[in-house]
């Protein structure tokens, strides 16, 4: 496994390394509620969009990364000005009904997407990729809204990515996802504690 990780790392271009490192910076900074961390995500997704288009000829993946660039700009704006009177957005939570709707809708969208890609394209592993992509988008929307439970979604998603990349012998990406799981787990408990403190504050 160590040899495989070294070979993968050696094969990375500077664009892929820059995209990976800025992505790690984005996850770490947003987990610490740093608004400017969103710009690290914007840079990372822009670099991955370029790599997907210019290096791998993965045009749909490139478009997805462009979408995430837009989401990153929106995330920065929402965190900075999305609160009352254009103040910084506070932490908030989801109701059980909202969780049920998000999960149910996400499952339905993932199944439909996987079926379409499996039937009409030559996409690799659509039954893995579709659910992970759909719920990554869901979790990103939750993070933009500063829902503390967004990190619970990321814990599950990133854990699934560890299994997926491991099954594809992409051990370097699996290792990166292990780091994501650790950051998401820490952020989940930190954000939950901060939200509970806010709930106890007098109005």
**pLDDT tens per residue, range 7-22:** 888 888 999 999 999 9
Encode pLDDT of 64-114 as tens digits. 999 999 999 999 999 999 877 667 899 999 999 999 999 999 999 999 999
| % residues pLDDT > 70 (the chain) | 98
Rounded CA-CA distance 186/168 in Å is: 27
Map residue 147 onto helix, strand or coil: strand
In sequence order, what E strands does 73-164 have? none
CA torsion sign, 130 to 134 to 135 to 139? positive
Q: What is the mean pLDDT of residues 159-178?
A: 93
Please, what's the largest Cα pairwise distance for the chain? Answer: 57
Contact status, residue 28 vs residue 183, Cβ threshold 8 Å: yes
Q: Which residues contact 120 (CB under 8 A, 6 or more apart)?
A: none
Q: What is the full DSSP assignment across 72-98?
A: HHHHHHHHHH-SGGG-PPPPB---HHH
Average pLDDT score over residue span 165-192: 95
Question: What pTM value is reported for the model?
Answer: 0.92
Q: Which of 133, 136, 166, 165 is nearest to 153 (CA)?
A: 136
- The total of other beta-carbon atoms located within 10 Å of residue 17's CB is 12
Nearest Cα residue to 148 out of 177, 203, 186, 109: 186
Q: How far is CA 7 from the centre of its chain?
A: 25
User: CA 197, 28, 54, 5 torsion: positive or negative?
Assistant: negative
């Amino acid at each position: 496994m160590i040899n495989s990780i070294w070979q993968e790392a050696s094969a990375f271009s500077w664009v892929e390394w820059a995209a990976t490192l800025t992505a790690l910076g984005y996850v770490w900074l947003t987990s610490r509620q740093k608004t400017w961390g969103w710009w690290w995500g914007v840079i990372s997704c822009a670099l991955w969009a370029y790599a997907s288009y210019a290096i791998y000829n993965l045009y749909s993946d490139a478009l997805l990364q462009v979408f995430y660039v837009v989401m990153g700009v929106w995330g920065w704006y929402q965190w900075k000005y999305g609160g009352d009177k254009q103040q910084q957005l506070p932490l908030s939570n989801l109701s059980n009904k909202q969780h049920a709707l998000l999960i149910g809708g996400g499952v339905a969208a993932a199944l439909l997407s996987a079926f379409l890609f499996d039937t009409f394209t030559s996409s690799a592993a659509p039954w893995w990729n579709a659910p992970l992509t759909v719920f990554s988008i869901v979790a990103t929307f939750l993070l933009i809204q500063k829902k503390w439970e967004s990190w619970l979604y990321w814990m599950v998603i990133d854990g699934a990515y560890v299994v997926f990349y491991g099954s594809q012998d992409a051990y370097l990406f699996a290792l990166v996802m292990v780091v994501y799981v650790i950051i998401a787990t820490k952020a989940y408990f930190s954000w939950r504690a901060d939200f509970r403190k806010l709930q106890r504050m007098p109005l």
